[in-house]
């Protein structure tokens, strides 16, 4: 069995990983994934009606969601930029 102090430490680590993941989800989604996914796993494994564990789980879910949206928007912008440059060069060649 895991001692109560070890369970609290794991719940706090889940909370900290969720916070770090949330902060980096706007800037660097890859860092957010690296922090929020383990935070979510730890929080789910150690959830025993503990508030910090629930907060860590919810923060990790929000961080993963924002990072996923940020990643998708980045891919869309990159693809759009790539094809818009290609269209401009085609138009210049026609003139």
- Residue-range domain boundaries for the chain: 4-67
- Work out the average pLDDT over 50-76: 89
* Backbone torsions φ then ψ of 25, nearest 5 degrees: -65, -25
pLDDT at position 91, please? Answer: 56
Decide if pLDDT at 63 tops 70.
yes
- Work out the average pLDDT over 30-44: 92
Per the rule left: phi > 0, alpha: psi between -120 and 50, beta: everything else, 81 is alpha
**pLDDT above 90 as % of the chain:** 52
pTM: 0.79
Q: CB neighbours of 81 closer than 8 A, spacing ≥ 6?
A: none
């Amino acid at each position: 069995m895991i001692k109560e102090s070890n369970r609290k430490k794991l719940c706090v680590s889940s909370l900290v990983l969720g916070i770090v993941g949330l902060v980096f989800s706007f800037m660097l989604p890859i860092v957010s994934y690296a922090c929020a996914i383990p935070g979510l796993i730890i929080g789910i494994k150690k959830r025993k009606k503990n508030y910090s564990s629930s907060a860590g789980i919810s923060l990790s879910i929000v961080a993963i969601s924002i990072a996923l949206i940020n990643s998708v928007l980045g891919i869309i912008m990159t693809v759009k930029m790539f094809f818009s440059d290609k269209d401009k060069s085609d138009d210049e060649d026609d003139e």
